[in-house]
A and B are shown apart, each in its own frame.
Chain A
Amino acid sequence: MPIVDVENLTDLDKAKMELEQKKKEVPLERALLSKGCTEFMEAVQATADEDPLVKGIPEATNPFKEIKGGCVIC
């Protein structure tokens, strides 16, 4: 797999690259934004109940609770 020689790309090479890319992107199928937003919102809300940073973490089960007493030697 030849590695692309980026340093020697001319302005013409870059313009060709961009044109080729746009040709590929024009025919993409695009879904309605409302559909994506709705699905995405539902997915987030469905899992928000198990999201520790959203619902909060009880002190007893918090792995980062304050380390009281003792001595930590590095």
Chain B
Amino acid sequence: MGELDVLKKEAETLKTQIETARKAVNDTTMEAASSGVAPAPRIQPKARRTLKGHTAKIYALYWALDNKLMVSGSQDGKLLVWDTHAGILANCVPLKSAWVMTVSFSPSAGLVASGGLDNMCTIVNISGEKPKTMRELDGHDGYVACSRFLSETSILTASGDQTCGLWDLETGKQKQSFLNHVGDCMCVALAEDQNTFISGACDSQAKLWDIRDGQCKQSFIGHTGDINAISYMPNGQAFITGSDDCTLRMFDMRADQEVMCYQNAQPTAGVTSLSLSLSGRLLFAGYDDFNCNIWDSLKGEKIGVLSGHDNRVSCTGIPSDGMCVSTGSWDSFLKIWN
């Protein structure tokens, strides 16, 4: 046996040990545990706003902490900042590269970050009279699929080069690299204390990382396709992922395993995006089939649908006060629902 085979065989043995340890604590299912819980009310949110302004597919959106401003990114080469209450455009940021895959606000909303097929994460200051590019974070060898600010001076990225990166915006340099995925990294979510984060990738795995030392702490298996979206549950001990395998899954970090799978009776459309309501009870998931499904996160049942887009729902978001859910689509529109 060559060295490669020896290593692979050893890894398989360890994976079996890990599965045995997981089975040993698998004393119930989420469905069984929640059987006594009253079903979530069947809700039918109405589309309250349709935001028209983009002229091509929308790929990403992000809410500001003021719960009013929302930024969207489209392959028309623009970031649009919306006053969602009034339903009007508040700002427009032209991009050097039209191939945007991710947008986010800094905590103050004075900065927006965007990233995409240009392999860079671009930071623009929008607090002045005119948008001003502040930094072009250059260092990934693949597309930037997701970016999340830790603060006004620090940002986390997920890249098609299979790594995540932590960047210092004062120097423009990468402070830490996170390598362990063997597929394109598509999404990240930060823990509230910002000491750890979770990532989802095209190797069908989700991973938990220590931000300071760059080490992968845990790996979560279960999905059978690219993981496109990831979000912590409000209590921070579990998270939910959405995948091209047409399912969403909840993972319990302390039990180190999957505890629930959210799957349509006839699963035909991949999950592109997900957002959790304030308590975590409602799970909103965007799909390739133009819909956004509403799931009861505890009981695993589908309880509603947001229909209204004429093309794939590519992104969803819920502001920090939980007052609505927004959807962005390849049909070039954004909608606000509650």
Residue of A nearest to B324 (CB): A64
A55 to B40, CA, bound (A): 10
B180–A30 CB distance below 8 A: no
Assuming the contacts A6-B162, A6-B163, A37-B33, asked whether A30 and B254 have C-beta atoms less than 8 A apart, the reply is yes
- Interface size of A by CB at 8 A reads 54
Q: How far is the CA of A63 from the CA of B234 in the complex (A)?
A: 23
- The answer to whether A48 and B21 touch across the interface, beta carbons within 8 angstroms, is no
Query: Within the assembled complex, what's the spacing in Å between the Cα atoms of A40 and B18?
Result: 23
Partner of B10, one of A12, A19, A24, A44: A19
**A30-B254, A53-B43, A53-B282 as given contacts; A19 in contact with B323, CB under 8 Å:** no
CB-contact partner of A19 in B11, B25, B40, B67, under 8 A = B11
> In the complex, what residues of A have CB within 8 A of residue B252's CB?
33, 36-37, 40
- Let me know if A44 and B281 touch, CB within 8 A: yes
The 8 A CB mask of B309-327 against A (1 = contact, 0 = none) is 0000000001001111100
Contact indicator B281/A64 (Cβ below 8 Å):
no
B266 close to A (CB within 8 Å): no
**Could you tell me if B322 and A34 are in contact, using CB atoms closer than 8 angstroms?**
no
Q: Which of B85-93, B108-116, B118-126 contacts A (4 or more CB under 8 A)?
A: B85-93
Closest CB in chain A relative to B158 CB, distance in Å: 13
- Whether, in the assembled complex, B280 has its beta carbon less than 8 Å from a beta carbon of chain A, the answer is yes
B179 within 8 A of A: yes
With the chains together, A17 CA to B181 CA distance in Å?
10
Total A-B contacts with CB atoms under 8 angstroms apart: 193
The answer to whether A7 and B11 touch across the interface, beta carbons within 8 angstroms, is: no
Complex CA distance for A31 and B17, rounded to whole angstroms: 16
| Contact assessment for A37 and B256 in the assembled complex, using a CB-CB cutoff below 8 Å | no
Q: Assess whether A3 is interfacial by the CB under 8 Å rule.
A: yes
Min CB distance, B131 to chain A, in Å? 17
Indicate if the CB atoms of A44 and B279 lie closer than 8 Å: yes
Given A32-B27, A33-B259, A63-B323: A19 and B237 interface contact (C-beta under 8 Å): no
Q: Which of B55-63, B146-154, B169-177, B190-198 contacts A (4 or more CB under 8 A)?
A: B169-177
Interface string of B68-93 (1 = CB under 8 A from A): 10000000000000001111110000
What 0/1 pattern do residues 35 to 71 of A give for CB contact below 8 A with B?
A: 1111111011111101111111100001111110000
Shortest Cβ distance from residue A4 to the other chain B in the assembled complex, whole angstroms: 5
B85 in contact with A26 (CB, 8 Å)? no
User: Which residues of A approach B to under 8 Å, CB–CB?
Assistant: 1, 3-4, 6-7, 11-12, 14-19, 21-26, 28, 30-41, 43-48, 50-57, 62-67, 72, 74
Task: Report 18 cross-chain contacts, Cβ distance below 8 Å, ordered by A residue.
Answer: A1-B176, A12-B3, A14-B182, A15-B11, A17-B180, A18-B7, A19-B7, A23-B14, A33-B26, A33-B29, A33-B259, A34-B27, A36-B259, A37-B33, A48-B279, A51-B282, A63-B323, A72-B86
Known: A21-B216, A74-B88. 6 other contacts (CB 8 A): A6-B142, A7-B141, A37-B28, A38-B33, A57-B323, A64-B324
